[in-house]
Amino acid sequence: MRVAVSNFKGGVGKTVVAQHLANAAALDGYRVLVVDFDPQATLTHSMGLAEVREWNTVWGIMCRDLCREANRIADDYDDPADCPYPTADELPEDVQSIGAQRVQDFIQRTSWSTIDIIPSCANAAFVEFASAQYRSIHKAWSFFGCVARYLDELPDDQYDLIIFDCPPAIGYQSLNAAFAADILYIPSGPGYWEYDSTTSYLGQLGDALEDITNGFERIAKDAGITLPKKFDDVRVLMTRFEASNTLHVAMMDAFKNVFGSDVCQNPIEMTRAVEQSGRFQMSVYEQDYRQMTRDTWKRARQSFDSAYGEFRDVVLRAWEARTKVEERVE
């Protein structure tokens, strides 16, 4: 199952949530792949990687996909010379060189034995500009399906769970994450502006997915992509929550009035351990409780354990529902 942790509001805890869910799942016995879509690369650094080449990031996956799709589209013509779009050999040299990479070349080991990562780096920020350029070069390229096609190449038994840490924007990378994800997890702080941003994010993401459905229907069909995009589940997770803060409680009620049961019942509480998680890039599962009061660490651990337990239930229900559908189809 693939889960995108996404919101275009910065500072709501996307990376902290993605990191803790990955760590908790690994401790629970699952094999996890995390994909860092964010050029800030905080998740990458938190997983112990310091130096990353940009062609080993999601940008490299998109270049590789463009090469493969260019050749597939040309092969659909009886005479490839009749194809109005360029083949891989006619693409920019940097794209061609990356296109030769193997599927496993993008995956790196982390400091956790059962967590692997497709990392990011600051230089990957130009993926938004490069993708626009590539689209102008090859107008039949279904740019929104790159990551989904890449993940489909991985062996089914290599990972149990794939978690995406998305950038605070709706762009080429975040749309790829959305199209590849089965479940959308949306972290949000307990303030009004986070509430406003989260509702706006869902509206704009829905508009973007609708625009792709309407504008790229033929291209998607030729590429084997089913439109419109549908998620198995969508959840809103409150972060930096203080149960003793009346404003936070009121905002939780406001979220529930809008999103109902899609709001997670177990928010991430604000504690010193959570603050240190972001500051030192170490999850609560990695921190030494002796560096703070034991009660503080214990409260943070219980908060993330509860959030993860609810997350696991969401994933397992979606997996069971999908399995039943596949069995009926067979």
Share of the chain above pLDDT 90, in %: 62
pLDDT recorded at residue 206: 93
pLDDT recorded at residue 276: 64
pLDDT recorded at residue 294: 79
269: helix, strand or coil: strand
Interval 174-211: pLDDT, tens: 999 999 999 999 999 888 888 888 999 999 999 999 99
**Position 279 confidence tier, pLDDT thresholds 50, 70, 90:** low
Q: Is the pLDDT of residue 120 over 90?
A: yes
Q: Domain limits of the chain?
A: 2-54+100-126+143-288
Q: Is the pLDDT of residue 54 over 70?
A: yes
Radius of gyration of the chain (CA): 20
36: helix, strand or coil: strand
pLDDT recorded at residue 237: 95
Buried b (16+ CB within 10 A) or exposed e, 202-238: beebeebbeebeeebeebbeebebebebeebbbbbbb
Share of the chain above pLDDT 70, in %: 97
DSSP 155-176: -TTS-SEEEEE--SS-SHHHHH
pLDDT recorded at residue 277: 62
CB of 278 closer than 8 Å to CB of 16: yes
Rounded to an integer, the average pLDDT of 13-37 is 95
Structure tokens at 49: 């990687």
Q: Which fold has domain 2-54+100-126+143-288?
A: Rossmann fold (3.40.50)
Q: CB under 8 Å to 128, separation ≥6 — which residues?
A: 171, 172, 173
Task: Report yes or no on whether pTM surpasses 0.85.
Answer: yes
